[in-house]
Chains A and B, each alone.
Chain A
Amino acid sequence: MIADDPTMMRLMAAAQRGDKHAYRALLDECRKWLLRYYARRVPPHQMDDLVQDTLLSLHNKRASYDPGRPFLPWLAAIARYRWVDHLRRHYRADETQLDGDYPSFSEEPGVTARISLDHLMLHLPPGQAEVIALVKIEGLSIAEAAGKSGQSESLVKVNIHRGLKRLAAMVEQS
């Protein structure tokens, strides 16, 4: 059974004040709610990733919740946004995916990009740099990267998210 809206409003208001216990309880309730929300919207194998993405968005955008208003319509708006974004990325990836290997005329741009990237990665904590390299550069799955790095799958996702955010900030600054 999922908590009612007034309970979630109270938990979220407490979370905005920094109450970690209330936030943990709220995240549990949100996860249950999201699993139900996405059940008919995405294939089962994509569900876990989408729920975690949505919870990360909730975490990052928690200041946009107005404690005087109902909680579930806010959560539903975030869930819907993440779902649409997920569909867009999914179909775009399908459209742009190439079937075979194609010859490259020059390796120079790739090498230069790799050198710049390696330089930027030096500024990241080792845990974040490692999983970004494994997943985003070498193309391993989250599960494979977790096995190779010794981090849990959820930590791999969190580290990739934080690392990419920090890289983006560094690129913007430079």
Chain B
Amino acid sequence: MIKTRLATPSRERQSAADFLDDLAQDLQPVRPIKPAYAWALTALAALAVVGLSVLVLGARHDVATGQPEPFLMLANGLLLMLALACSLAVISMARPQIGNSYQGPGWALGMAAILPASGIGLTLLHDSPPLGMLWVESGLVCLATSAALSVIVSVPLIWWLRRGAPARPGLAGWLTGLAAGSYGVFAFALHCSHADMMHIGIWHSLAVITCGAIGRICVPPMIRW
């Protein structure tokens, strides 16, 4: 009995030491991952999406003539801020640290929420039929095309997360979807024929949220480690 008691810890110590030796023997030099790569690839993907929207789908007349409507600039500015805040969070998530906080996207999302809040508010306050809701067909086209464009931007973000060690896959999924969706909607808005509060507030916002939800469902299984 005494023999067994003495033998067990020493066997465990030996076993743990073997395991550590194996890991140490397996060591190869690695380069720490550099967020600059992720930023560069994300920026390239975002530019590609804008190029695709403007060159292939065709830019709106006011955008093409260099005189975009003020409201379109405001809405796209908010979306760009949301995209950048979410990208920053996603890129930093690949290098986990206890104590990291990801509050930036929350504030950016709060700012961007002015758009759907205003769109829904205007729709409800109007006595006339809710125009924003009536353009369902063009709204669905906006939603589908923006989501398709967002896939391009999601690729470098997911690739980056897979290289790193994201410790909160669910949140990473949301943020990847929101970032990619914001870039996609930003790009599609340069083509979209509607630039009014109701359409942008409802359909463009819905596209961003939908991309976020798709990201929450699809991204975590791809980045678990």
Q: How far is the CA of A85 from the CA of B166 in the complex (A)?
A: 13
**Could you say which of B20, B32, B95, B96 contacts A81, with CB atoms under 8 Å apart?**
B96
Instruction: Provide the B23-48 mask, 1 if CB < 8 A to any CB of A, else 0.
Output: 11111111111000000000000000
Instruction: Provide the B86-129 mask, 1 if CB < 8 A to any CB of A, else 0.
Output: 00000000111111100000000000000000000000000000
Given contacts A18-B29, A31-B16, whether A77 and B97 have CB atoms under 8 Å apart is: yes
Q: Which residues of chain A from 76 to 123 have a CB within 8 Å of any chain B CB?
A: 76-78, 80-81, 85
Most buried by B among A52, A63, A65, A69: A63
Chain B neighbourhood of A81, CB < 8 A = 96, 165, 167
Chain A neighbourhood of B94, CB < 8 A = 64
Most buried by B among A31, A74, A78, A154: A154
B20 near A64 with CB under 8 A, answer no
Q: How far is the CA of A66 from the CA of B32 in the complex (A)?
A: 6
Whose C-beta in chain B lies nearest to the C-beta of A76?
B98
Q: How far is the CA of A27 from the CA of B17 in the complex (A)?
A: 10
Given contacts A23-B27, A55-B20, A77-B97, whether A154 and B225 have CB atoms under 8 Å apart is: no
Q: How far is the CA of A63 from the CA of B30 in the complex (A)?
A: 6
The reply on A17 being an interface residue by CB < 8 A is: yes
Given contacts A63-B30, A66-B95, whether A57 and B20 have CB atoms under 8 Å apart is: no
Interface size class of A (residues with CB under 8 A): 35 or more
**Could you say which of B21, B32, B96 contacts A77, with CB atoms under 8 Å apart?**
B96
Query: Which residues of B pack against A, CB within 8 Å?
Result: 12, 14-16, 18-33, 94-100, 163-165, 167, 224-225
The reply on A67 being an interface residue by CB < 8 A is: yes
Q: Which residues of chain A from 145 to 163 have a CB within 8 Å of any chain B CB?
A: 152-155, 157-158
Shortest Cβ gap from B103 to chain A (Å): 17
**Can you list 23 pairs linking A and B with CB atoms under 8 Å apart?**
A16-B30, A17-B29, A21-B24, A23-B27, A31-B20, A51-B16, A59-B23, A59-B26, A60-B225, A63-B32, A63-B33, A63-B163, A64-B33, A73-B97, A73-B98, A74-B96, A74-B97, A76-B98, A77-B97, A81-B96, A152-B14, A154-B18, A155-B18
